[in-house]
Structure 1
Amino acid sequence: MKFSNFKILKFWDYYSFNNKSEIYSNYPLVELSDVLTQRKDSIKIDDTKLYKRCRVKVRGQGIVLRDEVLGKEIKTKKQYLCKEDDFLVAEIDAKVGGYGIVPKELINAIVSSHYFLFDIDEDKLNPEYLSILTKCEGFSKQVKATGSTNYAAIRPSHVLEYLIPLPRLKEQEKIINQYNKRIALSEKQINKAIQLEIEIENYLFEALGIKKAVDKINIKGLHLVSLSQLEKWGIDFIEDISNKSTLFDEYKINEISQISSGGTPLRSRKEYYSNGDIPWVKTGELENEIIYDSEEKITIEGLNNSSAKLYEKDSLIIAMYGATIGKTAKLGVSASTNQACAVLFNIDNDVVLTDFLWEYLQIQKDSFKKLAYGSAQPNLNAGIISNYKVPIPPIDKQKEITNHILNLKNKIKDLKTQSEKNRNLSITEFENEIFKPV
């Protein structure tokens, strides 16, 4: 049994009652009411004017533009204007980190009464300091503790009661600078990784003697093209013949591997999926990676009683529709897949190395997309992929290319790991400086 003084109990819930929302710091703790003032003045929407509307991203990811609309499209005519460096809180989403500082580009953006705007006393509190601080667990746990019923919304009075550690302004600036140094290093590393990804594509095209195709050919007047070079019937698909390898012969995919579509899942037989141990790969899992597992599994009985097949390790899977359309992954284990994917298996390694083929297909995503048909939901099919041409150098050259690309990919992986580490360290070091451990 535990007793608490009712006078000091702000919120009636288990979280607060057990002091899980308390914070500790070497700096003075102040309520936000000491440094924030709610701004309640509203405007009336003019039907003839264009307005920016902003939205608050959850998990402390900031404030972004939602859209720009004419006033006549806004039903609620009473709205509130944002100023730069306002602290904006979403009434409903606050408990999941729905708050942040309004950026310069959203000055005069509008929000409804389901958002709360607060002016910051910048003589006491640096807006950037508050922006970083609100990403910390020491702040967010207070928001989570707010309220005691199933009603998830918070009120402005709750916000003003939250505590923050408040160093002097000069100390805030020093802490912000240390944080930003980590972020700058993280961004430098991720930008270097992006440049190396571009370098992989450029290197592969150069090594194969390919000139990258332009997005769209501006055809004026009469234009002739060889039927043998026409990949798809339509003016947007009359291929620039320079988008061919000038160094090596090309093979259709069905000349260097077997290809099939995945199978149709038997959803009527739940037992085929509830205790399965064979990975059942879906398009959302194809991110140009090696697949060792999947969210869903199928039993061998389910596989035998469906149109699906079991594909061996090192088979390649290409997404034929959805957000990942055109992306190619490699199986790191034996697995199966649904009909939304095409699978290349029994690849003729006397002609083409699997890893070379995989590297080449990974940079063909945009080309595959252009060959997709349908307007609402563009699709590929196994026939289109079967006839797709791949330039094939001698095996020794393929090894040279894949080894070089692997080296670049290892550097990219290291850079991304370092970038993520520094981004995490930036907030960890900030929080360790500001919030004293319990």
Structure 2
Amino acid sequence: MMSDWETKKLGILLTQRKEQVVLDPDIEYILVTISNKGDVKLREKKKGATICAKNGYIARAGDFIYSRLSVHTGAFGIVPPELDNALITNEMPCFEIDEDQIYPKVLVDLVGLPTFLRQLKQLTKGMGRVRIKESMMLSLSLVLPPLTEQSKLIRKIDHIKTNRSILNTEITHQQTLLKKLRQQILQEAIEGKLTKDWRAENPDVESASELLKRIQAEKAQLIKDKKIKKQKPLPPIDQEEKLFALPNGWKWCRLGEISINSLGKMLDTQKNKGELKPYLRNLNVQWFEINTSNLNEMRFEEHETQKYSVLKGDIVICEGGYPGQAAIWSRNESIMFQKALHRVRFISECFSSVLFVNLLWLWATKGEITKYYTGAGIRHLTGKSLNKMIIPIPPLPEQKAIVAKVEKLLTLCDQLQTQITTNQSHAKQLMQAVLKEAFSQNSQESKQTAM
């Protein structure tokens, strides 16, 4: 009966464990971490001599543990058996659970309810980086069913969690298959397999070799007219660099042969002069999308506007962070860009920007792009490396046919992705709804009244 449900403070259900130990320099200690998904797991093993502190605290298997800084975002859980006797810091209070009043699984589910998390967030509202201390945590209350009912709820929730786990595994499998499908579509596109029938029906189009000759002539004229600078000759393409055999009429070339690439302006608040203008950083560039919701501003002089502006159709590529990550600027208005980004413009639209960005994504997912990186620790994609990148060039009319087929197929992939994301969201909402229903005193009371 609902009259058996009681409201109890955590301070009645939990007793803080404070087993302090002096660290022995020769003993190896287990250190733990807590994720925002409630996973209490091994962080590392270290000898006492390599730990900065002289003292530590011990956690026991079955203890409830939380992070003072992140408990309101889900960083709490139960210490698993394999981490018994693990070493924790002051920032991870742990508590022995009174199992005569509450089962550990029920405690974790109740603390994880949105209603309880909102109480925790209220404790940090309007303040900076707040630590939720033990006294604050233990002052909060839970509504508890009796142990017999808790046991029934555990069995029911475990069953639902098992089904949810199976569903999440299936969703992950579907996402993996979808990624492979995207890769396969693009791989067949750049190898010419998607347009095999198109070539048979259109045998007399201008070859890529002729296209490249025209582009080289146009580039030479731009250099002569002093519109672009003359670049150092690019090395010839070795046979080993070619990733696959090309169809007749196609040609391998280096990106620098057919495009004009440049880095943006260096941010220097003391030296930069001119008018404040919004600009793109690498943080604004995701795959296939440029996010302008969080732009910063930098000073640009009038003579720099053309040099450091991104125009409609330009490709913007990350130099660092996620080197090679790229998107197309599709807006009519121009925007400035920072040195952390490359701007790529093809000469006379000799190569499809859409096809190129998809090609970069394919090579990033397959690891091919890493051979163009520089730097041992922090990776970069320099302008020199970018110019050396080799790409397969189809005849111009065939490029249009490829893009049309790719966009049609990738639209289907996007629809599948939307369905997978929806299923994932529904699974999460279902679990939250089940927990809320199971531990909601009001809903239980309404059921009793209706009977």
TM-score (norm 2): 0.71
Among candidates 133, 146, 159, match of residue 177 of structure 1: 159
- Give 1:366-405 correspondences, 5 Å limit: 366-393=367-394, 394-395=398-399, 396-405=401-410
Query: Are 1:120 and 1:127, in contact at CA under 8 Å, matched by a contact in 2?
Result: yes
Gaps of 5+ in 2: 193-234, 444-451
C-alpha separation in 2, matches of 1:241 and 1:380? 18
C-alpha separation in 1, matches of 2:315 and 2:360? 9
The amino acid of 1:377's aligned partner reads I
C-alpha separation in 1, matches of 2:110 and 2:326? 41
- Tell me which residue corresponds to 2:261: 259
| Paired residue secondary structure (1:76) | coil
Residues 23-53 of structure 1 show CA distances to partners (whole Å, capped at 9, x for unaligned) of xx99532333444333333444332232221
Alignment length (residue pairs): 383
C-alpha separation in 2, matches of 1:42 and 1:266? 50
2:176 aligned with 1:194, yes or no? yes
| Paired residue secondary structure (2:286) | coil
Residues 241-294 of structure 1 show CA distances to partners (whole Å, capped at 9, x for unaligned) of 563344442232234433222223463469844xx4x5x221122221322524
Shift in Å at residue 362 of structure 1? 1.2
C-alpha separation in 1, matches of 2:362 and 2:172? 20
- Tell me which residue corresponds to 2:340: 340
The amino acid of 1:99's aligned partner reads F
CA-based RMSD:
3.8
- Tell me which residue corresponds to 1:427: 432
Gaps of 5+ in 1: 1-24, 211-226, 231-238
Shift in Å at residue 170 of structure 1? 0.7
- Tell me which residue corresponds to 2:354: 355
Shift in Å at residue 319 of structure 1? 0.8
C-alpha separation in 1, matches of 2:163 and 2:246? 47
- Give 1:169-318 correspondences, 5 Å limit: 169-178=151-160, 181-182=163-164, 184-209=166-191, 228-229=236-237, 240-241=240-241, 243-247=243-247, 248-265=250-267, 267-268=269-270, 272-273=275-276, 276=277, 278=278, 280-296=279-295, 298=297, 302=300, 304-306=302-304, 308-318=307-317
C-alpha separation in 2, matches of 1:348 and 1:63? 57
Q: Which moved more, 1:362-371 or 1:280-289?
A: 362-371
Identity %: 20
Query: Are 2:17 and 2:59, in contact at CA under 8 Å, matched by a contact in 1?
Result: no
Residues 161-216 of structure 1 show CA distances to partners (whole Å, capped at 9, x for unaligned) of 43223232212332343355445434532441233113322443345449xxxxxx
* 1:87–1:379 Cα change, 3 Å: same
Shift in Å at residue 125 of structure 1? 3.4
* 1:292–1:97 Cα change, 3 Å: closer
C-alpha separation in 1, matches of 2:138 and 2:10? 5
TM-score (norm 1): 0.73
- Tell me which residue corresponds to 1:159: 137
Query: Are 2:273 and 2:301, in contact at CA under 8 Å, matched by a contact in 1?
Result: no
Residues 335-372 of structure 1 show CA distances to partners (whole Å, capped at 9, x for unaligned) of 331111111224654x4332221111112233333322
* 1:430–1:373 Cα change, 3 Å: same
C-alpha separation in 1, matches of 2:138 and 2:48? 32
> Structure 1 or 2: larger helix share?
2
C-alpha separation in 2, matches of 1:105 and 1:192? 32
